[in-house]
Structure 1
Amino acid sequence: MPAPSNISTDTGKTPPPLSPAPRHWLAAVFADRVLRLLAAGTLVSSIGRGVFMTVTVLYLTFIVGLSVAEVAVVLTAASAVGVATSMLGGILADRVSARRLLVSFVAIEGLALACFPFAGSFWPAVVIACLVVGGNRGANTARSAIIGRAFTGSERVGARAVLRTVQNIGVAVGGAIAAVPLLINTPQAYYATTGVAAAATLASMFITVRLPGRVDAARHADSTRAPRGGRSVWKSPRYLALAVLSALFGLQFGLAEVGLPLWIAHRTDAPIVMVSILLVINTVLVIALQMPLSRGTHDLRRAGNVVAIAGITMALTCGIYSATAGVGPGLAVALLAIGMTAHTFAEILSSAGTWGLSYELAEPERVGEYQGMFAMAFSIGMMFTPGIMALTVIQNGMAGWVVLATIFLGSALGMTAIARRAAVNAGQPKT
């Protein structure tokens, strides 16, 4: 696929070429203005996100007083809104200023976080959670569209890897901040912490508003009403299949966040503190390895091969996790640590491979729409994750792990087949 135009929409002139990709991700952040601003904004907003992710369920349960069923409804409704805003953000990013769109979604998320102390009952909690998650998912899609326009080829995957590394750092910091209300356990502590989350999210808005005009769609920048080129994502069966398969493999995120904690609590003799330890293992490995393991995945064949390795690794990981049932606490802890290490490698490789494919197989003129579809499919998968985890590993044990392993391996090999066919059509030589 041809790369998107790198023509500046601020002046109509070609901007200076991006610096060669630095070897260290921190150097990459300072090498380009767009990446520098995106990284700074992502770091600050991720601190707020980390706080929100850590305290939300406990806040709704212990402070608002919702039942488990009501909390599940709140989170499901919020996820459903996130599905819609994921696609909406992508469509709008091709039609309006992506910078202003990103700022608008971040503002919605931040203001909604600031309203959490007023969520004193079920329905206000539903509305506020929907605004928070909707704003966050829309902002993520807008960022993806911005990356698609500001960078080309390997630079896109490198930029996504940098932002994911920065995001993990921010979420870790936010999680540490959220430990304060968990220790104090008073309504006032929760209110103050959600205020910190809101302030961090809104602060990121003032960073991203400084992005240059070249990240906007050419149609918006030129103020023309000419029809956009490129085929609609709804008319691209290959891309739709890629999005669906990627969403299926994305269940591995839900496994780490929902399935594994429940498995540890109900099916193993490992101490429950292993949930936190496994999160630390995952975060540290992603920060350390996302950048180096993402190199070269803009190449279609390499992206396909990387995803295949991720699928095989994830299938083996399911076997390791399943072996933790019925063994002593010490062995269960060791197996869980080994499993999370393999799980994280699969997560890193799959992310890198699907990033490359999601950009290289998209129509350059509709990068926002295509990224919106990709994000929407992922959001749909995450919405159904709790139910899928309950039906597989929690209720059916070994049989459930076999089903999950089959899903991971099958979806990965499907994406690999798409990548290889696309490489042949593009005339890429076999390596």
Structure 2
Amino acid sequence: MSGAPTPRTRNLIGRISASIADPVLRVLVLATAISRTGRGVFLTVTVLYFTLVVGLTAGEVALILAATSAAGLVTSVLAGQAADRFSARRMLIGFTAASGIGLIGYVFAGDFVSALIVAVFLGVTDQGSNSARMAIIARAFDGPERVNARAILRTVTNLAIAIGSGAGAIALAVGTGEAYRIALAGAGVVFLAGITQLVRLPARVDAPRAAGAGGGAAGDGGAAGDGADAVDDAGARDDGVDAAVDAADSADGDDTAGTASPASTARAAGAAARQRAGASTPGRSPWRDPRYLLLTLLSAVFGMQFGVGEVAVPLWIAHDTAAPEVLVSAVLILNTIVVIVFQVPLSRGTHDLRVAGRVSGIAAVLMGVACLVYAIAADGPVWWAVACIVAGALAHGFAEVLSQAGGWGMSFELADPERPGAYQGVFSMGYSLASLASPLLVNATALSMGFAGWALLAAIFLVSGLGLAAVGIRAARP
């Protein structure tokens, strides 16, 4: 049997290799490959480290995870706003360094309080890094290149985490406290090594100086954003600029030529009009953008599908089906393969709002089907349970890939180009909220109610996914 790579594998390698040609993406790919390998080690050992080495109960572990998600929820917004005012490069480097130190800090966590402090610290630094990275991508790339960059980075992330998970499995096999601590310390050191690449990011990925020239308005949301809007309403911009901005906010269109869509082009034109008029307040606050807030909310609801894969499916397999527990690992591997192979090709064209809407609708149907197929795995022998879980995992994997692609496209195209950090911070906040709520949701539905709970989950994902489809398709209308 030949060991030669398949055409699809060669295409995948070619796409990742081609990304190295862009200096910004090259840095992000290499830094991600390094740091996420450490992350893979951490993800493999952390829960068992809490329970077997630190001695925490399952309830205490759940509380730590919830607190971590809550910290990330707040940080994603604040860090996104800061990335519009300060250097996103320095923020990313700083948060990455802090994350590496935090991972090493787990070695010294000996009780619930110390583990909670370290976990919350890591929740802050991880979301801070993500918000800064999203702002960098939004500034460094346009149209299809932005979605392609996200897809490539997600592919590299999954590859790196898979490698790190293999390394972390060594600690699990040894099973001693020292092995766990060495693994966590090593994960932190590897994470820190990613900084060697991040320092090479060019200055052009930072916000223009003019964006921060207006005092607190440049990076502030909430009340500060209200003040910025009040300045606009008071007539700080002339009527011609207002017209350009209004046209930018409402412009839609299709993009079949592989360039920026008319919507994003018009927004950029509005931004340029503001700058020519000498406006001191950059862009629009995402908190004053109802369409973007709706996008964030629907994405957060659909994003709870990650909780299905991480919490509901493993416990469903172990306690409610005849399938062997080793199937949990097989499902994780299957999901990783689907993401690695299909994320980049299935993300093509989703900078077009119509395409982003369509793939979100397909993801909704696939996720609904996945939930129902998972549910019927409980009613049958081993072969039936295995077949249903694998089929459900395949549908789930493609739903995840398509929903991510559609969400990225809409989150970039519907954002104000002058405030990419603030907009991406708000969008990331939605996923932090999903991470916080999903364990509670799946426990209250699928794990407590059986088939009825799975059917309720299917309805939730179908409605939220079709809602996302409607947002994208409607925004693309002339």
Matched, 1:26 2:79: no
Counterpart position of 2:230? none
Distance 2:173 2:377 in 1: 30
Distance 1:242 1:372 in 2: 13
TM-superposed deviation, 1:219: 2.7
TM-score scaled by length of structure 2? 0.83
Counterpart position of 1:102? 92
From the superposition, tell whether residues 346 and 307 of structure 1 become closer, same or farther in structure 2 (CA, over 3 Å): same
Q: How many residues align?
A: 405
Distance 1:361 1:24 in 2: 30
Q: Any idea what the Cα deviations from partners look like across 1:388-429, whole Å, max 9, x if unmatched?
A: 1100000001111111111111011111111122111xx3xx
Code of the aligned partner of 2:375: S
TM-superposed deviation, 1:229: 2.0
Counterpart position of 1:313? 366
Counterpart position of 2:66? 76
Which of structure 1's runs of 4+ aligned residues deviate more than 4 A?
220-226
Distance 2:48 2:13 in 1: 41
Residue correspondence of structure 1 range 10-409 to structure 2 within 5 A: 24-219=14-209, 227-409=280-462
Code of the aligned partner of 1:319: L
Q: Any idea what the Cα deviations from partners look like across 1:53-100, whole Å, max 9, x if unmatched?
A: 111110010100111111111111111111111112211110100000
Distance 1:391 1:51 in 2: 30
In structure 2, the residue corresponding to 1:140 is in which secondary structure?
helix
In structure 2, the residue corresponding to 1:31 is in which secondary structure?
coil
Contact 1:300-1:419 within 8 A present in 2 as well: yes
Code of the aligned partner of 2:155: T
Contact 2:84-2:211 within 8 A present in 1 as well: no
From the superposition, tell whether residues 291 and 368 of structure 1 become closer, same or farther in structure 2 (CA, over 3 Å): same
In structure 2, the residue corresponding to 1:297 is in which secondary structure?
coil
Percent identity of paired positions between Structure 1 and Structure 2: 50
TM-score scaled by length of structure 1? 0.91
TM-superposed deviation, 1:252: 0.8
TM-superposed deviation, 1:267: 0.9
TM-superposed deviation, 1:220: 6.7
In structure 2, the residue corresponding to 1:296 is in which secondary structure?
coil
Contact 1:213-1:221 within 8 A present in 2 as well: no
Contact 1:96-1:220 within 8 A present in 2 as well: no
Code of the aligned partner of 2:376: A
Contact 2:213-2:280 within 8 A present in 1 as well: no
Contact 1:95-1:220 within 8 A present in 2 as well: no
Contact 1:304-1:415 within 8 A present in 2 as well: yes
Gaps of at least 5 residues in structure 2 are 1-11, 216-278
Gaps of at least 5 residues in structure 1 are 1-21
TM-superposed deviation, 1:224: 7.3
Contact 1:228-1:365 within 8 A present in 2 as well: no
Code of the aligned partner of 2:59: A
TM-superposed deviation, 1:227: 3.2
From the superposition, tell whether residues 60 and 120 of structure 1 become closer, same or farther in structure 2 (CA, over 3 Å): same
Distance 1:279 1:235 in 2: 39
Distance 1:23 1:74 in 2: 38
Contact 1:105-1:139 within 8 A present in 2 as well: yes
In structure 2, the residue corresponding to 1:96 is in which secondary structure?
coil
Contact 2:214-2:281 within 8 A present in 1 as well: no
Counterpart position of 1:418? 471
Contact 2:85-2:212 within 8 A present in 1 as well: no
Deviates more, 1:221-230 or 1:278-287: 221-230
In structure 2, the residue corresponding to 1:231 is in which secondary structure?
coil
**Larger Cα Rg: Structure 1 or Structure 2?**
2
